[in-house]
Amino acid sequence: MPERIYNFSPGPSVLPYSVLQQAARDIVNFNNKGIGLIELSHRSKEFMGVAQEAEALIRENLKVPSNYKVLFLQGGASSQFFMVPMNLLQNGMKATYLNTGTWSDKAIKEARLFGEIDVPFSSKEEKFNRVPKDDEYTVGPDSEYLYFVSNNTIYGTQFQSFPTADALLVSDMSSDIFSRSVDVSRFGIIFAGAQKNMGPAGVTVVIIREDLLDRAPENLPTMLRYKTHADKDSMFNTPPCFSIYCVGLVMKWLKELGGVEAIEKINNEKAALVYEAIDSTDFYRGHAEIASRSKMNISFNLPTPELEAKFIADAGAQGLDGLKGHRSIGGCRASIYNAFPREGVDRLVAFMQEFARANG
């Protein structure tokens, strides 16, 4: 194994090394069949097997009920921002969105092209430093669904528990899917780009309750209806084969590790270590309110922008890579997704302590 850097990138992000090694073998010669994985027809029994296994493992790891479809789509979570309202809303229908970050903000903008959108909570004025408590908003009875982003990658906030409102839940879980247990049966649609906890960029997983497939208006383009893809097991047209294959490998890795329950425990421990390093000195300052802290993305500041730049550069020189915060809030951010190793967290914490001593 060549020396690996510790990759704190918010996505595309670190993947299990065993997954990379397996992918490297299969790309050249899939299962010793004399053909590369990415050369396989998507209609071949070999690739159909790959896609079916990936779906089965998603279902198993997330305990997806049988009345939900699991779809492999393209276009990123950004395409779901319009596909959700396009499929669920018609003339004058309403939906409720919680505005907790850049991605919900963008989703709201797209949704307004299709329906009347109510936004009863926004933390925009506070630089999205928190998510709402259940009693901070209400969902009107005429709202078709309640939309929220379960984890806000940029700001490092996360819903610790899911909204209890009596509404159909739709959630963008791009940056924390498979990091913790979810009762899927409470949701209408869950979607997530793969490039954080599931695999490489290029595929979006959509988990949709079957009865919602028939909600779409008549005049939608074929490719933009969820039903088109559900009816053909995501093979209506050529799917992003390599990304689906990798998702399958990551799901297998997760299952062998003990599944979502096991990784949730590890994630809790990893995040606690970093937050402890932040809270144990006045040198570091977490961006998120404590009750909203994300276990996937930890955004924090140092006393000055100059120190932040030095922190990022010095860390990088030690193989702790990708700690620069998003341009919209600056500062630093450690993204520690499922595949980010515990040793890397220990290394970061040691570096933080040392840096604070030397520069505090």
Residue list 234-253, contact with a copy of itself (CB under 8 A): 236-243, 246
Q: Which of 82, 128, 275, 283 binds a copy of itself (CB under 8 A)?
A: 82
Which residues are tagged catalytic? 103, 172, 196
Q: Which of 71, 99, 110, 159 binds a copy of itself (CB under 8 A)?
A: 110
Residue list 154-213, contact with a copy of itself (CB under 8 A): 193, 195, 199-203
The closest of 79, 96, 253 to 174, measured between CA atoms, is: 79
- Which of the ranges 53-61, 164-172, 206-214, 230-238 carries the binding residues for a copy of itself, by CB under 8 A? 230-238
Query: Using the rule CB under 8 A, is 125 a contact of a copy of itself?
Result: no
Query: Using the rule CB under 8 A, is 341 a contact of a copy of itself?
Result: no
- x/- binding map, residues 309-328, to a copy of itself, per CB under 8 A? ----------x-xx------
| N- to C-terminal Cα separation, the chain | 37
CA gap 77, 266 in Å, rounded = 26
- CB-CB contact of 7 with 14 (8 Å): yes
The closest of 17, 32, 79, 22 to 229, measured between CA atoms, is: 79
- Which of the ranges 75-83, 165-173, 284-292, 307-315 carries the binding residues for a copy of itself, by CB under 8 A? 75-83
Which DSSP state fits 324?
Answer: B
Q: Locate 25 and state its tokens.
A: 């073998």
Query: Using the rule CB under 8 A, is 18 a contact of a copy of itself?
Result: no
Q: Which is nearer to a copy of itself, 113 or 313 (CB)?
A: 113
- Which of the ranges 108-116, 121-129, 280-288, 303-311 carries the binding residues for a copy of itself, by CB under 8 A? 108-116
Which residue is it, tokens 């997806």? 64
Q: From edge to edge, which strands make up the β-sheet containing 204-209?
A: 68-73, 204-209, 187-193, 169-172, 143-149, 94-99, 116-122
Instruction: Report, in Å, the least distance between residue 7 CB and a copy of itself.
Output: 6
Instruction: Report, in Å, the least distance between residue 174 CB and a copy of itself.
Output: 10
Q: Which of 58, 62, 71, 77 binds a copy of itself (CB under 8 A)?
A: 77
How many Cβ atoms are within 10 Å of 100's Cβ, its own excluded? 27
- Which of the ranges 107-115, 119-127, 157-165, 258-266 carries the binding residues for a copy of itself, by CB under 8 A? 107-115
Indicate the angle between helix axes 45-62 and 241-257, nearest 10 degrees.
40
Can you list the positions of beta strands (E) in 182-335? 187-193, 204-209, 285-286, 297-301, 320-321, 332-335
Can you list the positions of beta strands (E) in 241-305? 285-286, 297-301
Query: Using the rule CB under 8 A, is 343 a contact of a copy of itself?
Result: no
Q: Which is nearer to a copy of itself, 241 or 288 (CB)?
A: 241
- CB-CB contact of 193 with 150 (8 Å): no
* Cis before 12? omega within 30: yes
Q: Which is nearer to a copy of itself, 168 or 244 (CB)?
A: 244
Query: Using the rule CB under 8 A, is 330 a contact of a copy of itself?
Result: no
Binding stretches for a copy of itself (CB under 8 A): 2-5, 7, 9-15, 17, 20-21, 23-25, 27-29, 32-36, 38-42, 44, 74-79, 81-82, 86, 106, 109-110, 113, 193, 195, 199-203, 219, 221-224, 236-243, 246, 319, 321-322
